[in-house]
């Protein structure tokens, strides 16, 4: 199940809010354009598995953005997020955690505590903890992310389904089957409604619900 989970718990990578810019000098704009191009190149290398090169490009882009835009600009948060995601996928969890937390702090300061971008940041930090088995730390982040998404996006939004699924999986992993089941089911209903019954995410939801039943000995339902 672990290999399946790594595929299921997808994090939205490389950009999770629109570009935030203010008026800068032509020279500074040239530097920002360079930083953005470095990230585009890094994204290409990421798909090719060239992670050492990705890290160097992300770090160079981050340094440029911090210099031009300042350390608390939301585009700096995006660069921190990308580097954190890279570290997480390489198993460098301590490095990833520091960067995720710094990115979250910037997003909260910029957009407020109840913004969907904050929900995304909370969710990703929760995923990092979940992948390490730090369930007690992941759960309140998942719940806060879910609450924000339900409040701002509505109870049937696809992002709500994603949060429900992650929370269900966390409960499932801890043997809290009675709590996991309604979360899986609600997530499944939303996904089927929005994506259609044959979408891959629907299939994955069905698979994990079946696995939950199997864990409980409910083989006929599985």
pLDDT in tens, 91-101: 999 999 999 99
Closest by CA position to 124, among listed 9, 4, 6: 9
The Cα–Cα gap between 166 and 85 comes to: 17
Backbone angles phi, psi at 95, to 5 degrees: -65, -45
Closest by CA position to 96, among listed 222, 11, 172: 11
Number of Cβ within 10 Å of residue 143's Cβ equals 15
The Cα–Cα gap between 83 and 14 comes to: 9
Q: Tell me, what's the pLDDT at 2?
A: 42
* Average pLDDT of every residue of the chain: 89
Domains and CATH numbers, the chain: 17-111 (1.25.40.10), 113-222 (1.25.40.10)
Q: Tell me, what's the pLDDT at 23?
A: 63
3-class SS of residue 155: coil
Q: What are the pLDDT digits (tens) for 27-77?
A: 888 999 999 999 999 999 999 999 999 999 999 999 999 999 999 999 999
pTM for the predicted model, two decimal places: 0.86
- Rounded mean pLDDT, 90-112: 96
Residues 6+ apart with CB under 8 A from 36: 61
Q: What are the pLDDT digits (tens) for 167-198?
A: 999 999 999 999 999 999 999 999 999 999 99
pLDDT band at residue 221, thresholds of 50, 70 and 90?
confident
In angstroms, the first-to-last Cα distance of the chain is 15
Question: Comparing 92 with 20, which gets the higher pLDDT?
Answer: 92
Q: Cβ-count burial of 22 within 10 angstroms (0-12 exposed, 13-18 middle, 19+ buried)? A: exposed
The Cα–Cα gap between 80 and 120 comes to: 14
């Amino acid at each position: 199940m672990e290999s399946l989970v790594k595929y299921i718990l997808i994090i939205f990578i490389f950009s999770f809010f629109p570009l935030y810019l203010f008026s800068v000098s032509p020279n500074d704009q040239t530097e920002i354009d360079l930083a953005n191009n470095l990230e585009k190149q890094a994204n290409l290398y990421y798909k090719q598995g060239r992670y050492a090169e990705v890290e160097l490009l992300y770090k160079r882009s981050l340094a440029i953005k911090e210099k031009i835009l300042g350390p608390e600009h939301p585009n700096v948060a995006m660069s921190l997020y990308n580097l954190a995601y890279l570290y997480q996928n390489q198993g460098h969890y301590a490095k990833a955690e520091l960067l995720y937390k710094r990115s979250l702090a910037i997003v909260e300061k910029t957009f407020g505590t109840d913004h969907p971008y904050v929900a995304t940041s909370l969710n990703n930090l929760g995923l990092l903890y979940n992948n390490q088995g730090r369930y007690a730390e992941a759960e309140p982040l998942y719940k806060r992310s879910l609450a924000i998404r339900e409040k701002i996006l509505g109870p049937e939004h696809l992002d709500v389904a994603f949060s429900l699924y992650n929370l269900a999986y966390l409960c499932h992993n801890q043997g809290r089957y009675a709590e996991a089941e309604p979360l899986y089911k609600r997530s499944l209903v939303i996904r089927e409604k929005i994506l259609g019954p044959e979408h891959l995410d629907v299939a994955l939801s069905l698979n994990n619900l079946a696995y939950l039943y199997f864990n409980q000995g409910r083989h006929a339902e599985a």
